[in-house]
């Protein structure tokens, strides 16, 4: 197909908007509309429903999505192979991550990486769910990604970076605030602020052996949970990384017995990924060893 533009198609799918896709890719909205219209004309299919406030895939467009994504991935790896031959003078590394690493590690890692490879772009995609990050790595939607636990279901080259304790977070006047550790058996005795992604990440470690959360609130933002905990609205659980430079008055402590998770970085195949991605993974491992 001469008029296929996989990058534009996928960005429209991701944003649900011609305008947002245009802003990100540096096109005009009319230019994005023309490209999609041309693709539909050449396919002989309507790929998107145009609706008030945005666009969404038609069933036909959804059926073609994995094939177009595969084309985009192949184009990306071809481009990166060309850049490898040019000694990493250009290119892009696509990285998935989650908020605590995004905030507390990535600025330092990227700054270090850029000193050696100033012309390599870093494209960051952030999801809190480990399964989502794992899927993106496995499906080559990203070149590499950070995960809060080793991959459990797919063949991914994974490199552990640190063992991180899970902390119980509470207000400074909470009844347990004077303790040094928090017995896991008591976590169900107090109101609990649950994160929307806790079911995958934390609950399988904490709420076992008949222990059940006394869920008072469910929120989708770490800082919102911390703010609520600081006002005595409930306990929340946080990885240690997330608690650096927290702006709220809080008391936090480890569980008894200690509960930990492994934070690491992975790629579908270290030998099969681009040279730029391999260099980024190496840089991340060195930076964590030196700074964490």
Q: What percent of the chain has pLDDT over 70?
A: 95
Look at residue 59 in the predicted model and tell me its pLDDT. Answer: 92
**Domain definitions of the chain by residue range:** 1-85, 88-292
Query: What span, in angstroms and rounded, lies between the C-alpha atoms of 284 and 2?
Result: 39
Radius of gyration of the chain measured on its C-alpha atoms: 22
Look at residue 102 in the predicted model and tell me its pLDDT. Answer: 93
Q: Residue 68 above 70 pLDDT?
A: yes
Q: Residue 172 above 80 pLDDT?
A: yes
Lowest mean pLDDT among 29-38, 54-63, 153-162, 204-213: 204-213
Q: What percent of the chain has pLDDT over 90?
A: 53
Q: Residue 89 above 90 pLDDT?
A: no
For 248, residues 6+ apart whose C-beta sits below 8 A from its C-beta are 226, 227, 229, 230
Query: What span, in angstroms and rounded, lies between the C-alpha atoms of 201 and 62?
Result: 30
Token pair recorded at residue 40: 């539909």
Token pair recorded at residue 176: 């347990």
Query: What span, in angstroms and rounded, lies between the C-alpha atoms of 71 and 127?
Result: 24
For 241, residues 6+ apart whose C-beta sits below 8 A from its C-beta are 100, 101, 104, 105, 164, 263
Token pair recorded at residue 99: 């908020």
Buried/exposed 185-208: b ≥16 CB within 10 Å, e otherwise? eebeebebbbbebbeebbbeebbe
Which residue, among 116, 136, 160, has the nearest Cα to 276 in the 3D structure?
A: 116
Which residue, among 115, 140, 113, 112, has the nearest Cα to 125 in the 3D structure?
A: 140
N-to-C CA span, the chain: 49
- Can you give the pTM of this predicted structure? 0.71
| Mean pLDDT estimate for the chain | 89
Give 272-288 pLDDT, tens digit per residue: 888 899 999 999 999 99
- The answer as to CATH 3.40.190.290 being correct for domain 88-292 is yes
Q: Residue 83 above 80 pLDDT?
A: no
- More confidently predicted of 79 and 140: 140
Q: What angle do CA 282, 286, 292 make, to 5 degrees?
A: 135
Query: What span, in angstroms and rounded, lies between the C-alpha atoms of 230 and 173?
Result: 9
For 77, residues 6+ apart whose C-beta sits below 8 A from its C-beta are 140, 274
Look at residue 2 in the predicted model and tell me its pLDDT. Answer: 52
Taking each helix axis from N to C terminus, what angle separates 29-43 and 6-15, rounded to the nearest 10 degrees?
110
Look at residue 137 in the predicted model and tell me its pLDDT. Answer: 92
Token pair recorded at residue 287: 């930076």
Query: What span, in angstroms and rounded, lies between the C-alpha atoms of 236 and 238?
Result: 7
Torsional class of 88: left (φ above 0), alpha (ψ -120 to 50), beta (otherwise): left
Look at residue 188 in the predicted model and tell me its pLDDT. Answer: 92
- More confidently predicted of 26 and 182: 182
Other C-beta atoms closer than 10 Å to the C-beta of 150 total 16
Torsional class of 214: left (φ above 0), alpha (ψ -120 to 50), beta (otherwise): beta
Fold of domain 1-85: Arc Repressor Mutant, subunit A (1.10.10)
Look at residue 86 in the predicted model and tell me its pLDDT. Answer: 64
- What's the average model confidence in pLDDT over 1-15? 83
Look at residue 198 in the predicted model and tell me its pLDDT. Answer: 55
């Amino acid at each position: 197909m001469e008029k296929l533009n996989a990058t534009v198609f996928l960005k429209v799918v991701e944003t649900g908007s011609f305008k947002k896709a245009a802003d990100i890719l540096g096109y005009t909205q009319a230019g994005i509309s023309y490209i999609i219209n041309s693709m539909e004309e050449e396919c002989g299919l309507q790929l998107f429903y145009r609706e008030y406030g945005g666009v969404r895939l038609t069933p036909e467009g959804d059926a073609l999505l994995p094939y177009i994504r595969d084309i985009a991935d192949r184009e990306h790896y071809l481009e990166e192979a060309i850049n490898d031959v040019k000694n990493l003078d250009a290119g892009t590394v696509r990285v998935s991550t989650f908020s605590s690493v995004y905030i507390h590690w990535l600025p330092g890692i990227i700054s270090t990486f850029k000193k050696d490879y100033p012309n390599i772009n870093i494209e960051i995609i952030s999801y809190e769910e480990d399964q989502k990050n794992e899927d993106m790595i496995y499906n080559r939607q990203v070149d590499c990604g950070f995960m809060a636990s080793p991959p459990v279901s797919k063949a991914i080259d994974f490199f552990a970076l640190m063992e991180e304790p899970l902390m119980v977070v509470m207000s400074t006047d909470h009844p347990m605030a004077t303790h040094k550790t928090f017995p896991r058996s008591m976590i169900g005795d107090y109101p609990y602020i649950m994160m929307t992604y806790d079911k995958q990440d934390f609950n399988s470690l904490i709420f076992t052996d008949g222990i059940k959360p006394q869920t008072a609130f469910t929120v989708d933002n770490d800082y919102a949970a911390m703010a609520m905990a600081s006002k005595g609205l409930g306990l929340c659980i946080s990885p240690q990384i997330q608690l650096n430079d927290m702006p709220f008055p809080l008391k936090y402590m480890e569980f008894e017995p200690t509960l930990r998770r492994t934070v690491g970085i992975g790629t579908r195949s270290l030998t099969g990924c681009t040279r730029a991605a391999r260099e980024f993974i190496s840089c991340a491992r060195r930076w964590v060893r030196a700074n964490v």
